[in-house]
């Protein structure tokens, strides 16, 4: 019976060659034909596999990347994790999943772990403003810039906000609202507001904003909307919510207020969230290009033919109909549901 975990030494003994020869065969370096065959045979016979830990120690490269992300439960995060994992796998890189729960202490702990584990790089979606990152390990940030030296990848949130405004205008809205939570932090998604304002102005579309502060309850929105009901009808005929998650909440509020969606009021969210991750859209929405964001993060991290790291990369978003806006069959700019 062969050993449970054969090493190169075992393979060398089995094949009757030297250790170095085995190493060369394993790494595809030139070696005499007859030797190569014998070594390959021995490898198969013993079922040999390289030990990444010994290899990593020697090369100081581990082909492993850590992903810091709040969780994998919420659809945007889960989707991101999936696509980043796929992009890494395609390049034969391993991925350490680090669910941080957005806890600053835990995030820092994971950074430490990543360093101990000698990862080749870190991709992080963290809102922690004072995360300490070692100079040594390459880092790519998602959705929040972490300084000039660290590239940040995000979707084009400004354009997304603008697109939402334009869509609402195109679909016949005359008076719209923008609803947002989580205002305090500086991050890319915050640009959705500015983009929306810009879009409204360029279309001369009157708008109002309701922006919650950190501690506020979502019920503030209920009060806000209730206040804007006149003769049983909402004074807004269009609402842009900063996320699909919020849009879903607002949808329920509107139902309670007896407003029909999309007949009385049209609703656009942001993210491109689908039911069960892969089915239809939860609401009409500005879709983030999650797969492209993932691919870009990995490409930047592994520095594939990129001479210089850009500080901020914004990827194009698109509009998708999801039942909470008027349908516009035949419209040029209309994305369909897969």
Q: Which positions lie near its own copies, rule CB under 8 A?
A: 4-5, 49-54, 56-57, 62, 67, 71-75, 77-79, 81-82, 85-86, 89, 94-99, 101, 106, 112-113, 115-118, 135-136, 244-245, 248-249, 273, 275-279, 282
Binding DNA by CB under 7 A: which of 24, 180, 191, 193? 24
Residue carrying the six token digits 């890494």: 88
Nearer to DNA, 2 or 5 (CB): 5
Report if residue 293 touches DNA, rule: CB under 7 A. Answer: no
Contacts of 270 (CB under 8 A, 6+ apart): 160, 164, 189, 192, 240, 241, 242, 243, 244, 247, 285, 286, 288
Q: Are 94 and 66 in contact (CB under 8 A)?
A: no
Contacts to DNA from residues 42-101, by CB under 7 A:
49-51, 54-55, 57-60
Distances (CA, A) of 330 to 231, 267, 285, 305, 336: 35, 20, 18, 41, 11
Residues touching DNA, count (CB under 7 A):
27
Binding DNA by CB under 7 A: which of 2, 5, 184, 226? 5
Q: Are strands 238-241 and 176-180 parallel, antiparallel or unpaired?
A: parallel
Nearer to its own copies, 94 or 210 (CB): 94
Nearer to its own copies, 52 or 202 (CB): 52
- State the Cα–Cα distance between residues 334 and 337, nearest whole angstrom: 10
CB of 80 to its own copies, least distance (A): 9
276 DSSP assignment: G
Phi and psi torsions of 180, nearest 5°: -145, 150
- Give residues in contact with DNA (CB under 7 A): 5, 7-9, 17-21, 23-24, 26-27, 30-32, 34-35, 49-51, 54-55, 57-60
């Amino acid at each position: 019976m062969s050993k449970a975990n054969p090493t190169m030494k075992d393979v060398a003994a089995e094949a009757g060659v030297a250790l170095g020869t085995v190493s060369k065969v394993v790494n595809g370096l030139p070696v005499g034909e007859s030797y190569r065959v014998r070594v390959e045979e021995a490898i198969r016979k013993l079922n040999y596999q390289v030990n990444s830990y010994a290899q990593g120690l020697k090369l100081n490269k581990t082909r492993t990347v850590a992903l810091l992300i709040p969780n994998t439960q919420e659809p945007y995060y889960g989707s991101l994790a999936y696509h980043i994992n796929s992009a890494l796998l395609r390049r034969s890189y391993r991925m350490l999943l680090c669910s941080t729960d957005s806890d600053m202490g835990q995030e820092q702990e994971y950074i430490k772990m990543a360093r101990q584990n000698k990862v080749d790089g870190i991709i992080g979606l963290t809102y922690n403003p004072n995360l300490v990152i070692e100079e040594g390990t390459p880092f790519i940030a998602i959705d929040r810039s972490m300084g000039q030296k660290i590239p940040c990848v995000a979707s084009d949130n400004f354009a997304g906000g603008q697109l939402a405004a334009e869509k609402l205008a195109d679909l016949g809205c005359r008076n719209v609202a923008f609803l947002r939570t989580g205002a305090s932090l500086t991050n890319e998604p915050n640009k959705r507001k500015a983009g929306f304002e810009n879009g409204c102005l360029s279309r001369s579309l009157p708008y109002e904003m309701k922006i919650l502060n950190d501690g506020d309850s979502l019920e503030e929105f209920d009060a806000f909307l209730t206040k804007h009901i006149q003769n049983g009808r909402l004074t807004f005929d269009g609402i842009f919510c900063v996320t699909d998650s919020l849009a879903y909440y607002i949808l329920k509020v509107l139902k309670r207020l007896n407003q029909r969606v999309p007949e009385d009021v049209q609703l656009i969210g942001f993210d491109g969230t689908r039911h069960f991750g892969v089915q239809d859209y939860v609401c009409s929405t500005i879709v983030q290009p999650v797969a492209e964001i993932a691919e870009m993060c990995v490409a930047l991290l592994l520095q594939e033919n990129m001479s210089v790291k850009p500080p901020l990369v914004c990827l194009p978003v698109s509009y998708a109909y999801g039942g909470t806006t008027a349908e516009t069959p035949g419209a040029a700019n209309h994305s369909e549901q897969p």
